[in-house]
Homo-oligomer: A and B are copies of this chain.
Amino acid sequence: MRNKFLVIYNELAGQIENGVIRPNTKLLSENELAEQYKTSRETIRKALTLLAQNGYIQKIRGKGSIVLDLSKFEFPVSGLVSFKELAQKMSKNWRTIVHDLETIYPNEEIRTHLNVSKKEKVWKVVRAREVNNEKIILDKDYFQTKHVPKLTKAICENSIYEYLENELGLMISFAKKEIIVEEPTEEDRMYLDLEGFHNIVVVKNYVYLNDTSLLQYTESRHRPDKFRFVDFARRNR
């Protein structure tokens, strides 16, 4: 992290999170910050733009940058967050149970989702997520074998994301999420503690790499009472 603007971003973000810079106060002006960090104003602006995009501040022309009250916006987890990160943040007791881990010749549905040919094998991973002794999420993942040569039970029980990014060096760049509600399937009833719920919240997730190729298709199937999705949206213009 030798990017100047990232260093400044992280320092300011940390100070806001720790209350060193208090909500509803104004940040130093861009010119003052440029002087303080001995850098150009454009670099400061890059850091502040990031802060604004991530919900730390609100920039107001002619006035300054106001520090937002983070506690009002807890967990803008919209983006790309793994179950492990999330579970740890909420400091819950959690466990992952791997029900299936194999390479398969995909059926037509998966082929269209993953955009692969009949002849290509894909990884299929089925995992149940248990939080506070209740199995409430069923994750069905499909990966391109050309990007993921090896996968073990241990990796699936920990975090596949960590493995892909840190071990394999894959660069995940963007994802498309779709949220819908369905009837539970037999598989849902088998692997989850459904307790009579009549619906399942399905989060379909398409994960793309830096070179725009599709890496993964995931269906995350949530028990409706334990589902919560938070999104933080800014007007672009």
Contact = CB atoms under 8 A, between A and B. Distances in A.
Interface of A: 6, 50, 53-55, 58, 60, 66, 68, 72-73, 76, 78-80, 172-181, 197-199, 201, 208, 210-212, 224-225, 227-237
Nearest to A76: B176
Contact of A232 (B66, B76, B176): B176
A33 to B, nearest CB: 19
19 contacts: A58-B173, A58-B212, A60-B210, A66-B212, A72-B176, A78-B78, A79-B236, A80-B235, A175-B232, A177-B232, A178-B228, A178-B229, A178-B231, A179-B231, A180-B229, A181-B201, A181-B225, A181-B227, A199-B199
Q: Which secondary structure dominates chain A's binding surface?
A: mixed
Contacts of A233: 78-80, 174-177
A156 B236 CA distance: 25
B181 A6 contact: no
A212 B227 CA distance: 28
Nearest to A175: B233
A235 B178 contact: no
B234 A174 contact: yes
Nearest to A3: B237
